[in-house]
Chains A and B, each alone.
Chain A
Amino acid sequence: MTSQNCKKYLFWFANEHVDFRLPEITSIASLFNINIRWLEKPNQHPYWVVELPSEKAARQIASRSVGLRSCMELWAQAKTEEELHKNVRSYPMELMKPYFKPDLSFKISVETFCNRQSQAEKVTKIESFSYLPLEGPVKLNDPDVCLQLLEYYGLDSNHIPEKPYNLFFGRWCLLQIADGQRDVITKLSLKTRKFIGNTSMDPQLSLYMANQALVRNGDLVLDPFVGTGSLLVAASHFGGYVLGSDIDFLMLHGKTRPTRIQQKKHRDKDESVRSNMQQYGKDNQYLDVIVADASLPLWRPSFKLDCIITDPPYGIREATERIGSTKNYQISDHHLVGHIPSKVEYGLQQIYQDLFQFAAQHLKMGGRLVCWIPVVRDDYSEDKLPMHPCFHLVANSEQALTTYTSRHLLTLEKVQDPQMEYTGSHVNALMRDFRAKFFHYGEEHRKQRKLRKALAREAYMQAISQREEDDGNCVGQNEDRDSSSSER
């Protein structure tokens, strides 16, 4: 079949962010140098069958992946129960026997995806495997070996078939929940985080970004639009040492209005990016945050970062600004103290141009820039994305924002040093006017909704008056009808 060491594994994914799965697994595989072979093209199903060189590879992937719920060494798969048992019986005994030893406790569990099962059904299914020569004792809590039957009933909970579409049987590789990363999502939840804001990224997506950026232990990671530091929290989880910058002085000092729905009018005295890092025990990986304008040079040219992970402002929920003024004047000395510099709009196109140029200069060779980019769906096509000659586009995943806009997570890998002044000709019309379009479509949408409501109201009033007319015609037949009804 295949080389002797490679075995089949089944990856089981959480049923969300489907578009992000393949890039994440691919990034993690490259991080650990794992040769992964897809046995079927990855698709919408929450399960994938792959070939891996070893179980260690499966554990390594599970140690990083946020989308992966579990992983099993696949012994058999089939479309019917009968066929499944046939395939289980023909799986090489020498590969199964090591797990049947008398000193290993075991349990067989049954999972039905998108369907329920009664306890009786479950027990019947478990007993159908009694032909397996398991010699150890049954242990339901934390056994040494966990065998699993997985039945897949599709993705539509409104149309559940009688019989499962696919059945899988094998041995769970992740013996403890801690082997996977799903519980990290809860641990880093924004609900319990010390310092959040309008644009704090949810833990799952921020961890995806850190995986896409290939953050390794000891890496230097920067977020030039750091905000509340949610991306840095994720980077530190994978061992990154983090730096951030942001133009918003009040934000970084934890002095903006709180965004949590709560009674408090002010933030706690110690809310900051650093306090978030401290909350998760990563204070030793916190380097610094700086109040600075990302469009201006700040770092010395030879300063090289391992990763840049960021979510630039789209100009919707927060302003896109940089220092500047349309006026030309000198600020007199006595005004200087306490002067808050005025800002001008920092166009989205310009933001990405500057970001790409910055990344080309300050990333190590092979380092990655991972950033979101908002698009108007009708306008979008991949060839319209801003590009830069120093980067190779490794991945591009979409997340819907509204009916007409979405954002794309771009993973860009630096493949060459900047040769000359980048003119930004690659950053094109896709970025232009995003904010205007966002509000324009929003306005159109609102107008249409208003119109629809007005029409519905009119139709309703007509129906009422029609009914009253009809009622009025019946008055003669029903003498105790309230005469005031026709006046309504």
Chain B
Amino acid sequence: MKLLTHNMLTSKCLKGVNVGYPLGIVAKDVKVLETEFNSEFVSRIIPKLDWDTLWNAADSIGHAGDLPRAVCDDYENDVEFLKKVHHVLVEVEVIEGELVCPESGRKFSINKGIPNMLLNEDEL
């Protein structure tokens, strides 16, 4: 699971949960894989991100690196900045671990990089 995806996921499917965001991450295996940088893609994603969630998520798994705590102005033209964002968004992957609902504590497991958000029948 990439941190870009984590930035968008919630546990709102659970009965009784109001927002279910952001999900906590318990990482057992994290991989870093170098991926082709596409500045257009990164520039367009940045306004969609919840920046604090991104930074905190990266930090919680020890991969915040030198990612700034806030988005800089004119980020579209700052290639260095875009590359740092690219790294955290798509190059860091949680392969084994868990996502944790912030309201109920319910855990969703991540196996082989794929999060399992299925609920049990009594949780709907």
Contacts and interface: CB of A to CB of B under 8 A. Distances in A.
A459 interface: no
Nearest to A364: B48
A264 to B, nearest CB: 20
B112 A253 contact: yes
A220 B45 contact: yes
B118 A323 contact: yes
Given A218-B40, A300-B21, A291 B115 contact: yes
A323 B119 contact: yes
Interface string B83-114: 00000001000000000000000000001111
Given A253-B112, A287-B2, 15 more contacts: A243-B5, A249-B118, A253-B114, A288-B113, A290-B117, A291-B117, A292-B117, A292-B118, A297-B12, A298-B9, A298-B13, A323-B118, A330-B122, A331-B120, A331-B121
A324 B1 contact: no
B117 A288 contact: no
A296 B17 CA distance: 13
A243 B111 CA distance: 17
B35 A283 contact: yes
B9 A324 contact: no
Interface in A275-318: 283-284, 287-293, 296-300, 302-304
Given A298-B10, A298-B12, A299-B8, A284 B35 contact: yes
The residue in A241, A288, A297 that gathers the most chain B C-beta atoms within 10 A of its C-beta is: A288
Interface of B: 1-2, 4-5, 8-10, 12-13, 21, 35-36, 38, 40-41, 44-45, 48, 50, 90, 111-122, 124
A330 B120 CA distance: 9
Nearest to A303: B8
B10 A297 contact: yes
Closest A-B pairs by Cβ, 3 of them: A296-B13, A325-B121, A218-B41
Contacts of B1: 288, 290
Contact of B114 (A252, A283, A302, A341): A252
Interface centre among A220, A241, A243, A300 (most CB of B within 10 A): A300
A202 B1 CA distance: 28
Interface string A336-359: 100101100000000000000000
B8 A249 contact: no
Contacts of B8: 299-300, 303
Interface string A243-282: 1000101001100000000000000000010100000000
A131 interface: no
A302 B120 CA distance: 26
Nearest to B12: A297
B114 to A, nearest CB: 6
A323 B121 contact: yes
B118 A287 contact: no
Given A217-B40, A287-B4, A293 B114 contact: no
A339 B21 CA distance: 25
B115 A290 contact: yes
Contacts, number: 101
A272 B111 CA distance: 13
A299 B13 CA distance: 9
A289 B114 contact: yes
A299 B114 contact: no
A288 B114 contact: yes
B66 to A, nearest CB: 22
Given A284-B36, A303-B8, A303-B48, A293 B115 contact: no
Interface in A215-251: 217-218, 220, 241, 243, 247, 249
Nearest to B21: A300
A274 B93 CA distance: 13
Given A241-B41, A298-B10, A291 B90 contact: no
A284 B9 CA distance: 21
Contacts of B124: 296, 323-324
Contacts of A299: 8-10
A331 B45 CA distance: 40
A297 B14 CA distance: 9
B38 A218 contact: yes
A247 B10 CA distance: 16
Contacts of B44: 218
Contacts of A341: 118-121
A281 to B, nearest CB: 10
B13 A287 contact: no
Contact of B122 (A249, A291, A331): A331
A297 to B, nearest CB: 4
B3 to A, nearest CB: 10
Contacts of B12: 296-298
Contacts of A327: 121
A407 B63 CA distance: 47
B35 A293 contact: no
A304 B10 CA distance: 14
A176 B49 CA distance: 42
A249 B117 CA distance: 10
